[in-house]
Amino acid sequence: MGRINSLWLNLLSFLRRDLRSFRGGSRQELPNANLDKPAPEQLDPLPSEINFQKLDQLRFRRDILDWRDEFHVRIGALAEELFSQFSIYVENKAAEVGFFGRLFTKPAGEILQTPFDDLVRVELTKRVKEAEESLAQILSKWPTTIWPPFSFTEQNLDSRLACLDEIGLKPTNQEEILDRMDNLISGEGGLVETYRGHAASIARKLIQTFEATA
């Protein structure tokens, strides 16, 4: 009995405990959080590190070099097309030469000078004028600068087609005639190379002028 009484007393003591003891004690209240954002700190503006003068120089240089490169490509492509057309003309003209004409031929340059001017020189000159107009539009964006002359030098390289003086126009000479004409148009020191040299010289002078006055 003594053991039973002891267990009963322990049970009563357990039941009389403060219910808070089962909750692990009172909770600690957290402090109220201040959710308001702090005002941003006012900082002094940083000085700009952009060199606008240098930026203008780079823009101008890019515009002029793009113009030069575009001209180089366009004048080369046009020259190939014109030579192809002129070759057809020469082939047809040589095929028309009769028997006696083949025995007593005129110099090819004398016969081909005017057709060459009309079919090749005139068209190349038109492309050059288009390039001048395009360049003028670019320079109009920079009106405060006094530009040096930027027109192409008129090009009359071998205007008489003297390179064909000793060659008669006939089918057997056709290949040699076309080789010499191709060299006049697109060869070293020919029309295309000369025009490209003019464009490069113009671009260089304009860039130097702009950078010297900026």
Q: From the first residue on, what is the mean pLDDT of each consecutive set of 10 residues in the chain (214 residues)?
A: 55 54 51 55 56 80 97 98 97 79 76 95 96 96 88 87 92 94 95 96 95 82
Residue of 61, 213, 53 lying closest to 147 (CA atoms): 213
Check residue 55 and report its DSSP letter: H
> Residue 41 and residue 119: Cα distance in Å, rounded?
74
164 and 107 in contact (C-beta within 8 Å)?
A: yes
pLDDT at 19: 46
Query: Residue 124 CB: number of other CB atoms within 10 A?
Result: 18
Q: Are 124 and 82 in contact (CB under 8 A)?
A: yes
Retrieve residue 37's tokens.
Answer: 């954002």
What was the pLDDT predicted at 97? 75
Q: Are 212 and 61 in contact, with CB atoms under 8 Å apart?
A: no
**What's the confidence (pLDDT) of residue 202?**
97
CA dist., res. 71 & res. 62, Å (int)? 14
